[in-house]
Structure 1
């Protein structure tokens, strides 16, 4: 196996020049850099990551904390972060928090124990003050889909309240007034904000909010099925349903068909997130876009800027948009 000494000898440069090239220093003369890279290629030289870490006090690894692994939403998040960091020759270590305080805290300690340079987090249970302390006293963090006072520059978020507003406003514009809602768990911020947007749309349209038309789910497909059955059992008629994510919307659609309903003739349904299967279900799902892949990319670029000296543009707040497909239709009642 080739050594750094052989690379320097082949390139005709000093060891320090090879070291600066390996560490990505921008002060290296372009001609010398080309010689070093040519020598590395000819010798099939691979830098020793452990030695490089000791020399730079960095591991070139970034920890990712997500809430779950079993949904397209978090798959897109992880893919967006990993692909952005890989281009910069950084690597990721992934763990899961399950929206539980103790599990999230354990996950953070695990990532720190693996010498991650920074963390990119989709964390719901940890308190704002704990996240501020983590960023100030231990290592840099970026937060996805969450806004924390004191960490404004670290946060990459979606306007979830506007997303909830867009979903319900669409149904109101179609003539629906009796609109049911299956929310996410109220302990999660984005679920609260989406429900708040739903209520705002109703209020602006002069339609009273009826708590009998709301069911609290857990962002899982089964919650859409159970939620629809529960809402129907309350004998409070509704012609449309908003679900706070596409998984629950998919479950509600499946349940409605099992009950013999025609969609959207008997029930218009709107989801949230616009995950990959939203345009494969039947009828294709009207939903609210949640550009999680773009948000993930921005969180990675924020870490690259903060820790590794890059100069990427970082967008901190994303606007949702309504994606109209065939799961909704005008209501004459």
Structure 2
């Protein structure tokens, strides 16, 4: 295995010059840097990560804490983070919080113990004060899909309230007045924000917000099925349904077909997230975009800028868009 001494000898430079190149110093003459890099390639030299970490006080590793692993939503988020950071010669260590406060705190301690330089987090149970404490006293953080007071510059988020508004307002524009809603769990901020948008759209249109037409789910496909059955059991007619994510919309549509409904003639359905399967189910699902991949990229860029002195463009807040497909139609009475 080649050593730094052999690289210096092959390149015809001092050990300190090779060290400055390895540590990414910008003061190295371009010609000398090119010689060192050429020597490294010829010798197949691989820097000792432990030694470089001691020299730079950086591990080039970023901890990633997400709520779950078993959905396309978090798959897209992690793929974006890993790809963006890998392109910058950084690596990720991933762990899961399962929406449980103690598990999330344990995960943070684990990532810190692995000498991560920073953390990117999508967490639900962790209070704002704890996030601010970690950022102020432990490690720099970036928070995805959430706004934290005092950490506004560190947060990458979606306007979930506007997304909920767009979904319901679309149905109202098609003439629907009796609109049911299957929400996410009430302990999740994004679920509450989407429901608030639904309520705002109804109120602006002068339509009543009927609690009997709101069912609380947990973002699972089965919640869409159970939710639709529960809403129908109220014996209150409705012509349209908004679901707070695409999984629940898919479950509700499957249940509706099992009950003999023709979609969207008997029931118009709108989802949220624009998951990969949304344009494969029948009818193709009208939904609201949730650009989680792009949000993961932005969280990674924030860390690269603030920890590793990059100068990448940032977009902290994303606006949702309505994606029109075939699961909704004009109300025909």
TM-score range normalised by the length of the shorter chain? over 0.9
- Distance, in Å, in 1 between the alignment partners of 2:51 and 2:143 is 30
Number of the residue aligned with 1:295: 295
Write out per-residue CA displacement over residues 236-286 of structure 1, whole angstroms, 9 at most, x where no aligned residue: 111110000011111111111111111111111000000111111111100
Number of the residue aligned with 1:95: 95
Number of the residue aligned with 1:115: 115
**Equivalent residues in 2 for 1:213-252, closer than 5 Å:** 213-252=213-252
Number of the residue aligned with 2:30: 30
CA positional deviation for 1:158: 0.3
**Equivalent residues in 2 for 1:64-75, closer than 5 Å:** 64-75=64-75
Number of the residue aligned with 1:14: 14
Structure 2 SS opposite 1:293: helix
- Distance, in Å, in 2 between the alignment partners of 1:137 and 1:59 is 18
- Distance, in Å, in 2 between the alignment partners of 1:204 and 1:140 is 41
Structure 1 SS opposite 2:161: helix
CA positional deviation for 1:197: 0.2
- Distance, in Å, in 2 between the alignment partners of 1:232 and 1:103 is 37
- Distance, in Å, in 2 between the alignment partners of 1:301 and 1:263 is 42
1:256 aligns with 2:250: no
- Distance, in Å, in 1 between the alignment partners of 2:325 and 2:140 is 41
- Distance, in Å, in 1 between the alignment partners of 2:304 and 2:235 is 54
Number of the residue aligned with 1:42: 42
Structure 1 unmatched runs, 5+:
none
- Distance, in Å, in 2 between the alignment partners of 1:238 and 1:95 is 42
Structure 1 SS opposite 2:59: coil
1:329 aligns with 2:332: no
- Distance, in Å, in 2 between the alignment partners of 1:103 and 1:226 is 29
CA positional deviation for 1:26: 1.6
Number of the residue aligned with 2:183: 183
Number of the residue aligned with 1:130: 130
Structure 2 SS opposite 1:327: coil
Q: Deviation above 4 Å: which 4+ runs of structure 1? A: none
Tell me the C-alpha RMSD between the 2 structures. Answer: 0.7
Size of the aligned set, in residue pairs, is 333
Number of the residue aligned with 1:153: 153
- Distance, in Å, in 2 between the alignment partners of 1:29 and 1:268 is 65
Segment of structure 1 superposing worse, 122-131 or 13-22: 13-22
TM-score (norm. length: structure 2):
0.99
Write out per-residue CA displacement over residues 184-232 of structure 1, whole angstroms, 9 at most, x where no aligned residue: 0010100000000000000000101000000000011111111111111
Number of the residue aligned with 1:169: 169
CA positional deviation for 1:51: 0.9
- Distance, in Å, in 1 between the alignment partners of 2:223 and 2:28 is 58
Structure 2 SS opposite 1:223: helix
Structure 2 SS opposite 1:312: coil
Structure 2 SS opposite 1:269: strand
Structure 2 SS opposite 1:62: strand
CA positional deviation for 1:314: 1.0
Structure 1 SS opposite 2:162: helix
**Equivalent residues in 2 for 1:134-145, closer than 5 Å:** 134-145=134-145
Number of the residue aligned with 1:203: 203
Write out per-residue CA displacement over residues 278-321 of structure 1, whole angstroms, 9 at most, x where no aligned residue: 11111110000011111110000000011001011111110000
CA positional deviation for 1:23: 1.4
- Distance, in Å, in 1 between the alignment partners of 2:79 and 2:146 is 19
Structure 2 SS opposite 1:185: coil
CA positional deviation for 1:7: 0.4
Structure 2 SS opposite 1:124: coil
- Distance, in Å, in 1 between the alignment partners of 2:219 and 2:23 is 43
CA positional deviation for 1:161: 0.3
